[in-house]
Amino acid sequence: MNTHTLAGDQIQDRRFSGGDTLDEPVLETLMRDVRAVGRRVKQVLYPKVNANIDAESGQIIRDWDLWGPLVFCLFLSLALSISAPAQQASRVFSGVFAFVWIAEALVTLNIKLLGGSISFFHSVCILGYALFPLVPGAIFSLIVKSMIIRFPIVVALIAWSLFASMRTLKGAGVREGRVVLAMYPVWLFYGWLGWLCVIT
């Protein structure tokens, strides 16, 4: 916000001025986006309980982006396709990639159809960022081959994903009696991806 003085009157310019970005190094421009992604990861995965901080953190995630979800989705698909059975790698990669985006869209559409007040990409953004715990889960499955060891670890990671997405979505503005209907597809979504990390 800039304040100018014009003909004796103070005039506030409320447009975004954001500083001069024309001659900054490219690295700095990129790092700004990376830092924004990091901030959103932190907001989604470590939701704070305090009500005041809550409103502030809601604002950070409300300025949605899809960079984080894209990166996590790519890493997840890549890790799962590397550990997939032979001959199926490309199929698993495209299958998981498509599954993630279609499922995120369907879960969000379901929330909207049940009368949720959340905006479409806001919800997709939350679901995509909450995918993050499954990325180490999939990488863990690359290293450890025993399903019996994988299982509890992946269950814990899914629980984290679910807790984070529920906490950030906050029922997504759906009426009280419908929250379970709105959230059930979210469990299906993370649950299935988690199972793929175990079985792969």
Partner 1 sequence: MAGPTVSAGSASRGDYDTLIDVDAEGVDLGETDLEFHDFHTGDNVQGKIPAGGQSRLYEPPLSLENDPNRPLSIWTIHFYAQFFNVETSDVMQRCIYALYPRVSFVDTVGDNPDLYGPFWIASTVILVLFFSSTLAGAIASHVAGVRYEYNFGLLSAAAALMYGYTFIVPILLWGSLKWYRSEHARLLECVTLYGYANTIWVPVALVSISPIEIFNFQTIANVVRWASAAVGFAISTTFLVRNLYPVLNSTEAKTSRILLIVVVLGHMALAFVVKLVFFAYSIDDNSN
φ/ψ of residue 5, rounded to 5: -115, 125
Query: Does 4 sit near partner 1 (CB under 8 A)?
Result: yes
Segment near partner 1 (CB under 8 A), from 26-34, 43-51, 161-169, 189-197?
189-197
Among 22, 27, 55, 86, binds partner 1 (CB under 8 A): 86
Between CA 181 and CA 87 the distance in angstroms is 38
Query: Shortest approach of partner 1 to residue 74 CB, angstroms?
Result: 18
Query: Does 88 sit near partner 1 (CB under 8 A)?
Result: yes
Q: How many residues bind partner 1 (CB under 8 A)?
A: 50
φ/ψ of residue 118, rounded to 5: -70, 150
Rank residues 9 and 23 by Cβ distance to partner 1 and give the closer one. 9
Inter-residue contact 128 to 72 (CB < 8 Å):
yes
Segment near partner 1 (CB under 8 A), from 24-32, 43-51, 108-116, 161-169?
108-116
Among 41, 67, 75, 95, binds partner 1 (CB under 8 A): 95
Closest CA to 71 of 36, 29, 105: 36
Query: Does 91 sit near partner 1 (CB under 8 A)?
Result: yes
Using CA atoms in the order 35, 40, 45, 49, what is the torsion angle rounded to 10 degrees? 120
Interface ranges with partner 1 (CB under 8 A): 4, 6-7, 9, 11-16, 58, 62-64, 84-86, 88, 91-92, 95, 99, 110, 112-122, 147, 173, 175, 177-181, 184-185, 188, 191-192, 195, 199-200
